[in-house]
Amino acid sequence: MLTRNYLFIFFFLFLAVSLEPNSSKILSETMGNSSSMLTQYDIEEVQQHCQRLFSQQEIVSLYERFCQLDRNAKGFISADEFLSVPEFAMNPLSQRLLKMVDGLNFKDFVAFLSAFSAKASVQMKIKLIFKVYDSDGNGKVSFNDILEVLRDLSGSFISDNQREQVLTQLLKEAGYSKDSYLTLDDFIKVLGSPGLKMEVEVPVD
């Protein structure tokens, strides 16, 4: 008789723990670190990894966002989960960015986004742009590489011929030829002069 009462009480308390939104916070605090909480040590490690370009509060916000996108707490965000953000899926360069961002763990995710911090140098931002163009990662951007990105950006609204024409002409005017390969330094020369604005603000509640 007594054990049955205890069983009922345990059942109700179990229900409480699973339904109460606050109980998981208590549990993870009493049982030490659980996988969904960041310790101070973790935050500092991530901050080091991204060259201190994000403040600690921003890293905590980014972690909440990471957990929100990573639906089954696998530790990384899959391509499908990125594409479930409609604003991202609509972006013409989403496939290229996906290659760079798919399957990253939180530390590398923050490192990727750090190029968009207001404190990041212009060189870091240009480096990211270069990486987007240099899809095979050989350190050189060819005429075709640029054409491919242009194709993503303009779709069927400019013909292939016209794209080639415009690019050849502009390369000539800038002192390059159709066969030349652009390196990171060339990119810095072309894009660096009046400065580059590529910043994203991390919402901090």
List of residues contacting other proteins (CB under 8 A) = 9, 12-13, 15-16, 18-22, 25, 62, 65, 68-69, 71, 80, 82-94, 97, 101, 113, 116, 125, 128-129, 132-133, 146, 149-150, 153-158, 166-167, 170-171, 173-174, 176, 187, 190-191, 193, 196-203
Judge whether 62 and 47 are in contact, CB under 8 Å: no
Q: Each residue of 7-19: b (16+ CB within 10 Å) or e?
A: eeeeeeeeeeeee
Least spacing, CB of residue 156 vs other proteins, in Å: 8
**With respect to other proteins, which residue has the nearer C-beta, 43 or 146?**
146
**Cβ neighbours of residue 166 closer than 8 Å, sequence gap 6 or more:** 158
For residues 103 and 118, give the distance between their C-alpha atoms in angstroms, rounded to a whole number: 25
Least spacing, CB of residue 41 vs other proteins, in Å: 21
Least spacing, CB of residue 93 vs other proteins, in Å: 5
DSSP 8-state symbol, 141: B
Least spacing, CB of residue 83 vs other proteins, in Å: 6
